[in-house]
Amino acid sequence: MTLEKTLYERFLHAVLFELVALLLCAPVMSWLLGVSFAHAGLLTLMISLVAMAWNVIFNSIFDRLERRWKAKAAPATVAEPRRFSVRIAHAVVFEAGLILAVVPMAAWWLNIGLVEAFVLDIGLVLFFLPYTLVFNWCYDKLRAGMLKNATC
């Protein structure tokens, strides 16, 4: 394993993240919105596909910026998980970008106004913000442990 994430690892990370989220959100969304499981599931899948694409794009940009900032400070010699404060900034900016894509799509799919879709999306953000933080924090810890074991 290398310190830099490969395209395959980015893809695996995004798929795992979205699969767990899909399994948690589709039944809850169906129940809360009073729509069929299929209708909620398709909306969840569409959101998931948009989120996966955004995940790969955003994380690639975030990693490049982070490497530049670290290179200016002090080059890292060992794979270290991101600090908790960096994970918080990562999660907040990621979710803000996702809102811009999801609100119009949810409004169209559910045949509701943008304000109602925004309120719905706020509910999703209230779930996804801590979910994103916890999932990525755990992923970073597991990855750092695997890299450490691979170098020993």
Output the pLDDT for position 107.
95
Q: How many domains does the chain have?
A: 1
Is the pLDDT at 129 greater than 50? The verdict is yes
For residue 62, the enclosing domain spans: 7-151
Q: Which amino acid is at 103?
A: V
Decide if 2 is inside a domain.
no
Report if residue 20 sits inside a domain: yes
Predicted confidence (pLDDT) per residue in 11-34, tens digit: 888 888 888 888 888 899 889 888
Least Cα distance to 13 among 68, 69, 51, 65 occurs for 51
- Contact call for residues 79 and 143 (beta carbons, < 8 A): yes
